[in-house]
Amino acid sequence: MENNPRATLPGDWMPPGQSATAPPPPPPYEPAPEPKPERTGLQRLLGPLVFLGALLAKFGKVALLFAGKAKFLTTSLTMLVSIAAYTLIFGFWFAVGFVVLLLIHEMGHVIQLRREGIEASAPMFIPFLGAVVSAKSMGDDATAEARVGLAGPVLGTLGAAACIPLYTLTGDEIFKALAFTGFFLNLFNLVPITPLDGGRAMAALSPWMWFAGLAAFAVLAFTVPNPIIVLILILGGFDTYRRFKAYRAGGEESRRYYKVTPRNRAIVLAVYLGLIALLVVGMDLTFIQREFGDV
């Protein structure tokens, strides 16, 4: 037997004339890849711009989505901060109810502003100062301003009144206390001084009443010293001076703004006085008598 470097095993097959040590056949022919065309200067410039544009479009979608939720987040976060602050004084559940009543009041302003065709911000809560809604204006004229101003106490009064049946059903005095507090706060807001809602109503009734509101707040600030009352007195003093000066100047824009029909003036007066009467009755019905030493 020949001494071959590779033994032939059963099943091996070789073409005739090829030895066991013959090299394998060459691989099949594959054409070489065509060279990529070199990019022009314009393509080099547009490449990063296209990438940046795609990135901005992606970011823009996220930004728009966030912007749609920003108002909700602002309201929610400031509500939580206010609840935490009021909890330190009144307890958790009363703080929650109190902030909800503030929200209902402010939503009255928001709803009416949008009915007047004015974009309004979502309510933002400020601990111990209440809540605010920002807008470019209060309306096209004094009548619209009065509607916007009174819409808060109207809806706020309904919110406070809703606590009464809850108290009747549960017997929990926290609802009665919330009703009384809601009635009081809405009544307080009807004092005829800006930036309170009563001052907004006076724009359509009699701007001279702003001075009555200032006098009342001045007396209150001396008899019951309170930082919030003093702050409202200062803000009201500056705003009253500015607005009354413009009102007395009697320019065309001022005359147009404060021109109110007798019918609209009567409606504003009826709503204003009606709210005061309802709130006083509501406070009387929900007043909780406390014995000396009760907390």
d(Cα 21, Cα 287) in Å, to the nearest integer? 113
pLDDT (tens digit per residue) in 34-71: 555 555 544 444 444 444 445 444 444 443 444 445 56
Q: Is residue 132 part of a domain?
A: yes
Q: Is residue 42 part of a domain?
A: no
Q: Is residue 11 part of a domain?
A: no
Average pLDDT over residues 262-273: 95
Q: Is residue 177 part of a domain?
A: yes
pLDDT at 70: 59
d(Cα 119, Cα 146) in Å, to the nearest integer? 17
Q: Which of these ranges, 198-202, 235-239, 289-293, has the smallest mean pLDDT? A: 289-293
Cα angle for residues 27, 32, 37 (degrees, 5° grid): 165
d(Cα 121, Cα 135) in Å, to the nearest integer? 6
Q: Which residues on neighbouring strands pair with residue 124, listed in sequence order?
A: 132
Which residue's structure tokens are 């920002």?
134
d(Cα 142, Cα 258) in Å, to the nearest integer? 5
Our count of domains for the chain comes to 1
Query: Is pLDDT above 90 for 275?
Result: yes
Maximum pairwise Cα distance, the chain = 132
CA 187 to chain centroid, in Å, comes to: 24
Q: Is residue 291 part of a domain?
A: no
User: Rg (Cα) of the chain, in Å, rounded?
Assistant: 38
List of residues 6+ apart from 39 with CB closer than 8 A = 47
Q: Is residue 153 part of a domain?
A: yes
| Structural domain of 228 | 62-286
CA 181 to chain centroid, in Å, comes to: 23
Q: Is residue 7 part of a domain?
A: no
The pTM (predicted TM-score) of the whole model is: 0.72
Q: Is residue 92 part of a domain?
A: yes
